[in-house]
Structure 1
Amino acid sequence: MKKRIKLWWQELTIQKKIAVFTGMVCLTILLSVVFNVWVVRFSLVDFNGILQDNAKCSELIQALEKESTLFESYMRNPDAEKKEELDRAMKRTKNAVYDLPFQYRKVGELRYAKTWSIRSSYEVYCTKRDAILSMEDNVTDYVSRLYEVYDMQKYLGQYAGILMNCTIEEGDISYQKKVPTLVSVPMVVIFAGLLLLFGIAEMASLMKETIMSPIFKLVRASQKIAANDFFIEDVKVDNKDELGELVHAFNKMKYATGEYIQALEEKRKTLDLLHEEELEKLETEKRLEMTKLELLKSQINPHFLFNTLNVIGGMACLEEAATTEKMIRALSALFRYNLKNQETEVCLSQELKIVEDYMYLQQMRFGERISYQKICRVDADKVIVPAFTFQPLVENAIIHGLSKKEEGGTVRIHIWQQGEFIFITIGDDGLGMDDELLMHLRRELAKEDGKTGIGLGNIYRRIHAMYQDGNVEVYSRKDAGTVIKIQIRHKEVGEEDVPCVGGGR
């Protein structure tokens, strides 16, 4: 039975469970109230009825005795005061007579008969009493009628006494019948209280098992999930109500969240591996670029070249050819810088010196057709820039922009600092490029294997590889010129182990 009730309880919704529990509590309170009312009625109302019946009979006896005494006194010595007292006593007696219980079902056959006899006799008595009170004492049968009234008063008193005895006997019998019930009331109260208490305790236990226990299990599981432990055992409950659905949804959500977190963790590890591979790839590309550069350097025998240039320079000095000697010295410095410098970053002053040597040679070649302007708004002996950057861009400006222009032009270098960045522009006022060619060049630069020539493409890739926020931009307009703008983070000597030997030509 208990198992069947438990199964029925588990299938109820939470709202119905609360309604059933509330109904049980209300029913318990209602039964307690009804039982208390019954006990009060049984112990007080019924006994009060017996006492009231006895009191009414006693009141009738007293009223008759009082009236008989006053009647006799008045008849012996009548006066107005005694008459007034007698009238009050007669009224009291009348009220007492008609106040007697006269319901057959309530008083029973015997008491009903006695009460009826009293009422009938009282009416006859009242007629004869009133007649005597209105008679003169000299009437012939006055005395006989007076004693007849006295006899009726005794008769009514005897009947009232008999009714009193019957009422007391019936009350005693009724009391004796109720005594066992009254004795058993405490036991009934205790038993009913224990039964109701047990029922409420069982209901509370079911409420705890089907409502509070699942909630506690969910709280403990949530605490473990808050500690990033998603792969705990599923919360198990037998409920088929809203809490059962909630627990089922919680288990599904826990599993799905755990799988999602695990997938994110695996994705993060994969991204870390890809990042490491990308870094290794960049490092490999950097080493490859250095290898290519070294290969280009090795294509010329440095010792043979330097020795030959020194011999030519010495002969030019012997022949007093100062210009030739100067050109040879500039060319020798240019080759020495390109072939013997192993650093990736150098002082700005070194790059500017190489550009000046290169421009000297180009001016000797093109004469007044080529001019050179430099605006440097930073300390060239302190600022660090990427090596082999300026001279290739200046060479591109002359070859592609100015040499093909009949009237020549000017190469301009502008260097300034803005915030944490150094900006370098190398521009010319040569032939320039149309929009289509410019866009094609920009697209090729953005590609890893773009076809842009060794100089500009190499510089573009080196700037982006060396500086996280470095940038190279190309601007050009047909018949107006071309500008290469470089953005690098500001560095000074001392921040990096970079040798810096300044000096101009």
Structure 2
Amino acid sequence: MNSIRKKILSFTTIIIIIMSIIWIALTFYNYKTQVKYNDILNRYLILSDVSRSSNQVITDLNNYMNQSTPGNLQKLENSKKALESARYEVFKVRNEVNDFTLTNYINLMGSLIETTDRLMGLERDSEAAVKDLAEITRISNYISDMTLTLIDMELKTHEPFYRGIMEQSIELVKLAIWMVLLTSLLLLLATYWFSLGITRPVQQLTKAASELAKGRFDNEITVKSNDEIAFLAKTFNHMRTNINNLIQQIKEKAKLEHELQQNKILLQESHFRSLQSQMNPHFLFNTLNTLSKKAYLEGSEEISDLLVSVADLLRYNLKQIDRSVTLRDELVVVNQYMQIQKARFTDRLELQLDIDDSCLDVAIPALTLQPIIENAVIHAIEPKINGGVITIRVQGKDGNVLVRIEDDGIGMSDEVISQILMERQVQTTGHSTGIGFSNVVKRLRLFYESDDVIQLESKLGSGTSVLLKIPEQRGEIHD
């Protein structure tokens, strides 16, 4: 079986070989041309260096004749050495065309050097020195003229080469255009043939998938290919034979999930109703109202107020357990609850409030704060002989309303904290309204659909801190 990977590798290898051959041919041609061009340029530079060196000898000689200092003498010696070196390099320029001219050219440089040496041994103002200086100048002029002559001969000699380069450049451009067109055509044909071998089986699979989407499972899937797509077609065919059973399983699973979801909803409603049924019903509420009126008529106003607070708390519990309320309502309930507890603890219990009134209209599940306060009173403050302080702080921050409830009670262990946050009922002793701390955690997470709504920090002997993170935007719970 020829895999698609092998086809791609073969196709890519052919393209790389073609491009490599073209690149090698062009590189070789460019290298040969560059070598020839560098050789010609070097000949011009050698001739130009001779002319420059001879002129420099004349300049340094004049300076030395005007002022015979060691420095000027050293410069003259250096110029002579440079001319000697240039004279040696000139031999590289010799060919059949310039042989005679180049011989005279070399002799002139030798004459210039000899005359310079002779002049350096004469007195500057002597007639012979003046005559030799004029001779040196004349020889230098001959060298410059002959340099131009040799350069002109070089240009004529290599003129065919230059013209050939220009003509070859034009032909090379034409060849490159034809090669690009031919290569592009071959690549298009090869790409079409290669892609057709992949897309045709894919189209057949797509057509078969369309038939399956329309519910037609009778047509057998056939793909004419010898690569991975053929294996895929066979697998697709097996899928076609089992798809009816799969659809039935999906339907049954969806039905089961729907039933489980309905049961979950019913369970939540049952849980809320069970929380409500934990409180004594209307009989207790009516009895408390009767006792309150009787206490007031008998002059026991403090007992009457206490019974009114208990009755209001009971009324709130009975009416609001399955819906949301505002944070303001919850704080009112907390105040009523604390009035009841202060009747028990007197000066041993103190409530401190630090409230931002702009945050009190946010929605919160009913009976959220009171069970937390109740837990603090019964399990944190009551065991202490001197009682304690419960502090409630409310403030807005980063789109949330933060409600922090702190006490300076006996604290709780890490095990108890873990059980509360894992929504496990904690076995404790004491008087309670029946709604545990773990139930508060569960209801908050259900209400806000997030686990990050409550944080609990405590240490044995150092008090407890409960932080509620309430989103500022939250709709009401529907009955």
TM-score (norm 1): 0.47
Structure showing greater relative contact order (alpha-carbon pairs closer than 8 Å, 6 or more residues apart)? 1
Based on CA coordinates, which of the two structures has the bigger radius of gyration? Answer: 1
TM-score (norm 2): 0.49
